[in-house]
Amino acid sequence: MSVVQEPWNRPLEIETPDLPQFELWRQDDNANEFLIQTFHCRQEALLKMGRLAMGGHKQLYWIKSRAS
Protein backbone atom coordinates (compact mmCIF):
# COMPACT_ATOMS: atom_id res chain seq x y z
CA MET A 1 0.00 0.00 0.00
CA SER A 2 1.37 3.42 -0.90
CA VAL A 3 0.27 6.78 0.42
CA VAL A 4 0.00 9.67 -1.98
CA GLN A 5 0.10 13.18 -0.57
CA GLU A 6 -1.71 15.74 -2.63
CA PRO A 7 0.12 19.08 -3.06
CA TRP A 8 -2.42 20.89 -0.85
CA ASN A 9 -1.89 18.34 1.95
CA ARG A 10 1.92 18.62 2.23
CA PRO A 11 3.67 20.52 5.01
CA LEU A 12 4.47 24.07 4.02
CA GLU A 13 8.16 24.95 4.22
CA ILE A 14 8.94 28.62 3.91
CA GLU A 15 12.43 30.08 3.92
CA THR A 16 12.56 33.18 6.12
CA PRO A 17 16.19 34.29 6.13
CA ASP A 18 15.31 37.87 7.09
CA LEU A 19 13.52 36.96 10.32
CA PRO A 20 15.47 36.41 13.55
CA GLN A 21 15.38 32.91 14.91
CA PHE A 22 15.63 31.76 18.48
CA GLU A 23 16.67 28.22 19.35
CA LEU A 24 15.55 26.50 22.55
CA TRP A 25 18.22 24.12 23.86
CA ARG A 26 18.34 21.56 26.68
CA GLN A 27 21.23 19.95 28.52
CA ASP A 28 20.66 16.58 30.17
CA ASP A 29 22.29 15.08 33.25
CA ASN A 30 25.21 13.80 31.15
CA ALA A 31 25.96 17.25 29.68
CA ASN A 32 24.54 16.29 26.27
CA GLU A 33 22.97 19.26 24.47
CA PHE A 34 19.83 18.99 22.35
CA LEU A 35 18.06 21.49 20.12
CA ILE A 36 14.39 21.33 21.10
CA GLN A 37 12.73 23.80 18.76
CA THR A 38 13.34 26.97 16.73
CA PHE A 39 11.11 30.03 17.05
CA HIS A 40 10.75 33.35 15.21
CA CYS A 41 9.63 35.07 18.41
CA ARG A 42 11.75 35.18 21.59
CA GLN A 43 8.60 35.37 23.77
CA GLU A 44 7.30 32.08 22.34
CA ALA A 45 10.66 30.46 23.05
CA LEU A 46 10.55 31.77 26.63
CA LEU A 47 7.02 30.43 27.13
CA LYS A 48 8.01 26.98 25.89
CA MET A 49 11.12 27.04 28.10
CA GLY A 50 8.97 27.92 31.11
CA ARG A 51 6.55 25.06 30.43
CA LEU A 52 9.41 22.60 30.12
CA ALA A 53 11.11 23.90 33.27
CA MET A 54 7.90 23.24 35.24
CA GLY A 55 8.38 19.49 34.67
CA GLY A 56 9.43 17.30 37.58
CA HIS A 57 12.89 16.41 36.26
CA LYS A 58 15.43 19.23 36.48
CA GLN A 59 17.12 20.06 33.19
CA LEU A 60 19.07 23.09 32.03
CA TYR A 61 17.29 25.10 29.32
CA TRP A 62 18.50 28.17 27.41
CA ILE A 63 17.72 30.20 24.32
CA LYS A 64 20.24 31.03 21.61
CA SER A 65 19.69 33.76 19.08
CA ARG A 66 20.57 32.45 15.63
CA ALA A 67 21.92 35.03 13.22
CA SER A 68 19.77 35.48 10.15
Question: pLDDT per position in the chain (68 positions), as tens?
Answer: 444 555 555 555 556 666 779 999 999 989 999 999 999 999 999 999 999 988 877 789 999 998 65
> What residues does each domain of the chain span?
18-66
SS (H, E, C) the chain: CCCCCCHHHCCCCCCCCCCCEEEEEEECCCCCEEEEEEECCHHHHHHHHHHHHCCCCCCEEEEEEECC
